[in-house]
Amino acid sequence: MARTHRKQSRHGRPVLGTICGILFGLFLSLTLNSVLYYVFTAAGLVLGLVLGLTGPFGRNRRRAPVVTVPQPPPGRVTS
């Protein structure tokens, strides 16, 4: 049997998820006034990366339908 090699595309936005996760962990540790800055920041980084890779944050591939409004024939005045 011959194997077919498919190009595996990544879904989601891992960089955006990572940045948001780091910020979430940092602000969570500051809000809770905790000494676990590194733990919350690292947990936010991992959580953001996982959500960024698996989450449905990709681009919508379907195009929106185009709505056209019929125009009146030329020479006709509408009020």
Query: Cβ–Cβ contacts within 10 Å for residue 63, how many?
Result: 6
- Name the stretches of the chain with pLDDT < 50: none
d(CA 50, CA 1): 35
d(CA 60, CA 15): 18
pLDDT of residue 24: 93
pLDDT of residue 75: 77
pLDDT of residue 57: 58
d(CA 34, CA 43): 14
pLDDT of residue 47: 93
C-alpha 24: how far from chain center? 16
Q: What is the pTM of this model?
A: 0.58
pLDDT of residue 74: 80
